[in-house]
Each structure stands twice: as C-alpha cells, then as structure tokens.
C-alpha cells in the first residue's frame, strides 16, 4: 500500500527556519517534553513548543482547573511553570541535547518582562523560535490581556524582536476573543512578528448544576479541543486572506490528520496539537502520518502546495483533484 503512495515533501518554513514537517506540539500541552518522549521520539515532530515560560516560578491557579465540555475542555491552569531560571537550567538543555527543535513560549505582565525573557533566551542554545503568548494580563493596563489590543501586542512583539537574534523567528500567538483578529495580526506583523500562531483558548464558563457553583475555581477558563476548531479555521482563514505572505501556525482542536489538513487549506503552514495530546499521547505523530496520507491521497507532492488552497476562487479547478487516484 505505502509503495503506491508517493512520499510527500512535508518540509515547511517558519519564516526562514526550516521544519522537517508542519506538526508541532501546542504551548502548555506537552509538558517539558520528557513526558511525551516516553511514548515517541519528539524529534520526529516539526517542533516542540514549551509551556509559556515566565520570569518567576508560577504556582498557577487553584483546583479544580479543568472541566470537560462537549468535544473539548475548559482549563484554568494559570501558566504554572518553573520560571526562566529553572527552564534554562533543566528543561531547555534536555531538549537541546536531543536536537529537538524547540519553540519557546514566553509570557509576561509588561513589555519589560517579555523583553527580559527574550534577552535571557538570546544566548541559550537550542531555541528554534520564540512564541510570544499575548494572552497575558497587562499589569500596566489594569489587567487587560495584551492580545485584545493591537497596539499593546505590537509593542510587545517589537520589543521582543529587537533583542532576539536575527535568525530566531518571533511568532505572535493570538487570541480569538477580539472583534477584529486581522487588525491585531496586522499590528503584530508591523511590529516585527515573523509568523503568527492562532488560536489561543477563547474564554468560557461552566456552572455545575449540582453544586450550583462555577465548575472551575477560577470561574472562567480557556476552551480547547474540537469545539474550537471552526473558530481556529475562521481566524486562520481571515488572517491568511489579509496577509497571505505571513506564515501561520494553525492551532485549535486538531485531533486527526484531516483536521490539520483543514487548517492548512485555510492558510496555515504549520499545525500545533494541544488537547489531542491529553486524549492520545501519540496524537502528534499519528496526525503527522494521517496528514501525509491525506495529502498523498489527493495527489499532492508538497505540503507547501496545499497551504491556503481553499482560498482559490470557486470554479478555478484543482489540478490536484485531477491527478488524484480517488
């Protein structure tokens, strides 16, 4: 079977950085990398994305932090993590020693904090890219989340870009809870973002009708899983349409290769897998294989040819369908 399916060239680019394939782990969903490496070699993925690293260690939110929702879950982990010092001492070296391509996610409460984090990462070996998690409350703006505000997001991105090595791309991670995601995306690109990642979790609330209280200690939490996929596809679609040259990492509810393919057709050149890892520790490698098979079955020789393909005008035909054996 595999003999008649030609291999697909799965390489992709995050700005000028080549990834062997488009499948990465999503920030905050793949631990330190060690946990998943008990199940498969993380080096088989395009990249591993770390949890969001902050300056100081963070204990996160009280429990309950999670509740299952239809085709998804609501979480309020609150960026629990070891802080940059311990990350550089214990987590990044482990990934670097195994040559695992690593996207380091950073988060802060002020432009200065993001910048300080990026500075600390500047001479650390093993950083493939920096992902700026903009879904963090801005302490200088009464806790308003950076991602809600194009100007504030752009300021963070510009500052991080200015202290980051030229060969390390800066990826801005956007939230869907905004009136105009394209405006925020454009502001980030104008601020110097080399790529965009979307979507972070939209916020939701669940109420336990037995206890008559919110299900999460933090009341609201971030929704993830297949429930948010159409939202992710919509954001990727709109931003790719407006900014076709900007690389996009599509994130949201990817459980199968078909789901990943959907985001690619909408305009993503890489796809991050989050919640699916909770359901299936092998999800990321399975999705990679399924995506490759889906591309091959439709006659694609290169992943790059499928990126944004759904945007072509109706009736423009598809050489890929004609070539397909289906």
Partner 1 sequence: MGGSPQQVTGTVLTTRRVDAYHALTVVAPGIAERFRPGHFVSVSVGGPGTSMVTRRALAVHDVKPDYGGTVEFVVAVRGPGTAWLADRRARDTLDLVGPLGRPFPLPRDPVNCVLVGGEYGSATLFALADALQRRHCRVDFVLGAAAADRVFGALRARRVGETTTLTTEDGSLGLRGRVADVLPGVVTDVHADVIYACGPMAMLREVTAVGIDFDIPVQVAVEEAMACGIGVCMTCVLPVIGDDGVTRMVRACADGPVFRGERVRFEDVGTIPFDALGAPGGGGSARHVT
Ligand X SMILES: Cc1cc2nc3c(=O)[nH]c(=O)nc-3n(C[C@H](O)[C@H](O)[C@H](O)COP(=O)(O)O)c2cc1C
67 touches ligand X (CB under 6 A): no
User: Any contact of residue 26 with ligand X (CB under 6 A)?
Assistant: yes
Q: Residue 47's binding partner, choosing from partner 1, ligand X, none, with beta-carbon cut-off 5 to 8 A by kind?
A: none
Task: Quote the tokens at residue 320.
Answer: 């890929």
Q: Does position 278 bind partner 1 by CB under 8 A?
A: yes
Give 56 or 321: the residue with its C-beta nearer to partner 1. Answer: 56
| Helices and strands (H, E) in the chain, number of each type | 11, 18
N-term to C-term CA, the chain: 14
The binding track of 103-142 with respect to ligand X, each residue x by CB under 6 A or -, is: --x---------------------------x---------
**Residue 107 · residue 54 · CB < 8 Å:** yes
CA–CA distance, 204 with 27 (Å, rounded to integer): 19
Three-class SS state of 200: coil
- Chain centroid to Cα 228, Å, comes to 13
Q: 48 vs 51, which CB is nearer to ligand X?
A: 51
Q: Are strands 129-133 and 170-174 parallel, antiparallel or unpaired?
A: parallel
Q: Is 217 in the site for partner 1 (CB under 8 A)?
A: yes
Residues whose CB falls within 8 Å of the CB of residue 189, separated by 6 or more in sequence, listed in order? 172, 196, 243, 246
Q: Is 35 in the site for partner 1 (CB under 8 A)?
A: yes
Catalytic residue numbers read 136
Q: Taking a C-beta distance cutoff of 8 angstroms, is the pair 175, 133 a contact?
A: no
Q: Which stretch binds ligand X (CB under 6 A): 9-17, 39-47, 113-121, 271-279?
A: 271-279
CA distance 279 to 39: 13
Annotated binding-site residues for FMN read: 133, 173, 199, 225, 252-253, 274-275
Query: From residue 222 to residue 251, what is the string marking binding to ligand X with x (rule CB under 6 A)?
Result: x-xx--x----------------------x
Which residue bears the tokens 């991080």? 160
Piece of the chain touching partner 1 by CB under 8 A; list 32-40, 42-50, 237-245, 318-326: 32-40
Residues near ligand X (CB under 6 A): 26-29, 51-52, 75, 77, 79, 105, 133, 173, 200-201, 222, 224-225, 228, 251-254, 273-276
């Amino acid at each position: 079977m595999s003999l008649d399916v030609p291999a697909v060239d799965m390489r992709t680019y995050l700005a000028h950085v080549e990834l062997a394939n488009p499948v990465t782990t999503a920030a905050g969903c793949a631990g330190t990398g060690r946990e998943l490496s008990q199940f498969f070699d993380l080096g088989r993925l395009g990249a591993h994305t770390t949890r969001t690293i902050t300056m100081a260690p963070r204990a996160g939110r009280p429990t309950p932090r999670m509740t299952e929702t239809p085709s998804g879950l609501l979480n309020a982990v609150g960026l629990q993590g070891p802080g940059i010092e311990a990350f550089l001492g214990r987590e990044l070296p482990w990934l670097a020693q195994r040559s695992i391509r690593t996207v380091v996610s950073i988060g802060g409460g002020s432009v200065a904090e993001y910048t300080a984090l990026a500075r600390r990462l500047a001479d650390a070996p093993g950083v493939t890219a920096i992902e700026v998690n903009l879904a963090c409350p801005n302490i200088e703006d009464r806790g308003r989340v950076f991602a809600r505000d194009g100007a504030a997001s752009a300021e963070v991105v510009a500052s991080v870009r200015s202290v980051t090595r030229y060969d390390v791309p800066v990826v801005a991670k956007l939230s869907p809870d905004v009136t105009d995601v394209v405006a925020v995306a454009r502001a980030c690109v104008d601020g110097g973002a080399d790529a965009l990642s979307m979507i972070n979790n939209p916020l939701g609330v669940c109420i336990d009708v037995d206890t008559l209280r919110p299900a999460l200690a933090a009341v609201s939490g971030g929704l993830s899983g297949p429930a948010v996929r159409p939202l992710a596809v919509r954001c990727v679609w709109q931003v790719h349409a407006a900014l076709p040259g900007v690389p996009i990492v599509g994130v949201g509810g990817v459980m199968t290769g078909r789901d990943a393919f959907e985001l690619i057709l909408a305009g993503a050149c890489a796809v991050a897998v989050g919640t699916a890892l909770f359901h299936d520790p092998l999800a990321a490698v399975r999705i990679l294989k399924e995506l490759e098979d889906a591309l091959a079955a439709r006659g694609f020789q290169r992943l790059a040819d499928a990126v944004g393909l759904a945007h072509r005008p109706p009736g423009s035909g598809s050489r890929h369908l004609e070539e397909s054996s289906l």
